[in-house]
A = this chain, B = another copy of it.
Amino acid sequence: MKFIIHNTDKASSARAGTLETGHGKVETPIFMPVGTAANVKAVHVRDLRDDVKAQIILGNTYHLYLRPGTDIIHRAGGLHKFIGWDRPMLTDSGGYQVYSLTEIRKLKEEGVTFQSHIDGSRHEFTPENVMDIQRLIGADIIMAFDECTPYPCDYDYAKNSMGVTHRWLKRCFDQFKATEPLYGHEQALFPIVQGSTYRDLRVASAEAISSFGAEGNAIGGLSVGEPHEMMYEMTELVCGILPKDRPRYLMGVGTPANILESIALGVDMFDCVMPTRNARNGMIFTKNGFMNMLNNKWKDDYSVLDVEGTSFVDQQYTKAYVRHLFKAKELLGGMIASLHNLAFYLWLVGEAREQIKAGTFSSWKDAMVKKVTTRL
């Protein structure tokens, strides 16, 4: 995998780059739509490609391992073929899901045993088998198996957990190096910085993670309930330590404003369920602010959904119509809002890239953060 930085912003740490993978290029900064269970919810692959213009999407090891299972994905020829998506993909390791979705789990030095949230069946994830599973899934970028600490988290727990994550990382890399990709394209393993909201732990973790010389590095354990300012503080601290010449991925972030602020701190890659999950609840993000489509305000508004939007839905449907669909609980409402929000997120990071290249990112970012946080 190759990462080229084309431009860096003078007034911030933002950069515009290109990530080259076995399934083509990704222009950074980039937002990755989340395709948890082998699909981006309520969005056709065709529209993800041609309308949203997604460059890379996410899959989830925990979900895919449980359903449809690695045997099905392997026999399909890997996740790309199973989904019908020929652009880059990333899978997260399942660490986060084991802690957020399973009720009965036990963490030991060896790994984690847990019960499936689907049928209660018992399973074990170890750094080794999570690498093997991600080989079988076959994403271009795979993630180390870590423990994602909750917020708040006491210092001793965070420190011990970080230690486990670092020891697991060594085992992940050992297994990764001992195995081969299965589908004829390269895979890159990204380690994950942990350390909760403690500066000394984040520094220690960022240094430990950097020492592995990985092709890219991720920041985990943020956007789990802590104040935004604390998230930015940790992100800035960690970005200052992680290698400058490798892509930095801030996991699970976030709102449009979160993304813009984090780009300014030096982050290159993002993922979040927000544009699709909030879409299904009637929330529309635009460059001028966000709208709750269930609001009475839109009842009689026959203007198009987003006159400046880049998705076909923006000109196809009116606000009054989309409001009706949400009021009537019609699936089409969530389908429209999902396409719109994803297209907006992709537009936002694409425009950030253009502004970085033009040397105008910081002032644009400040103005845009004000706009996108406005309730319409």
Which residues of A are interface residues toward B (Cβ below 8 A)? 37-39, 41-46, 67-68, 72, 75-77, 81-84, 299-300, 302, 312-313, 316-318, 320-321, 324-325, 327-328, 330-332, 334-336
**A82-B321, A318-B76, A330-B37 are known contacts. Are A46 and B300 too (CB-CB below 8 A)?**
no
Give Cα A81 to B300, complex, Å. Answer: 13
Say whether B72 contacts A324, CB under 8 Å. yes
Chain B contacts of A45 at CB under 8 A? 316-317
A295 to chain B, nearest CB (A): 14
When all copies of this chain in the complex are counted, the total is: 2
**A67-B324, A300-B72, A331-B331 are known contacts. Are A312 and B39 too (CB-CB below 8 A)?**
no
**A300-B75, A335-B42 are known contacts. Are A84 and B317 too (CB-CB below 8 A)?**
yes
Give Cα A67 to B325, complex, Å. Answer: 10
Chain B contacts of A324 at CB under 8 A? 37-38, 67-68, 72, 82
Chain B contacts of A83 at CB under 8 A? 321
Give Cα A75 to B321, complex, Å. Answer: 12
| Subset of 19 A-B contacts with CB under 8 Å | A37-B324, A37-B330, A41-B330, A41-B331, A42-B332, A43-B332, A44-B335, A46-B316, A68-B320, A72-B300, A72-B320, A76-B321, A77-B302, A81-B302, A82-B318, A83-B321, A84-B316, A84-B318, A331-B331
A190 to chain B, nearest CB (A): 26
Chain B contacts of A76 at CB under 8 A? 302, 318, 320-321
Give Cα A17 to B86, complex, Å. Answer: 44
Most central of A75, A302, A331 by chain B CB within 10 Å: A331
Give me 19 other A-B pairs in contact (C-beta within 8 A), A67-B324, A72-B300, A84-B318 excluded. A37-B324, A37-B328, A38-B324, A39-B332, A41-B330, A41-B331, A42-B331, A42-B332, A42-B335, A44-B336, A45-B316, A46-B312, A67-B327, A68-B328, A72-B320, A76-B321, A83-B321, A84-B316, A335-B335
Give Cα A316 to B46, complex, Å. Answer: 8
Chain B contacts of A42 at CB under 8 A? 331-332, 335
Give Cα A339 to B39, complex, Å. Answer: 17
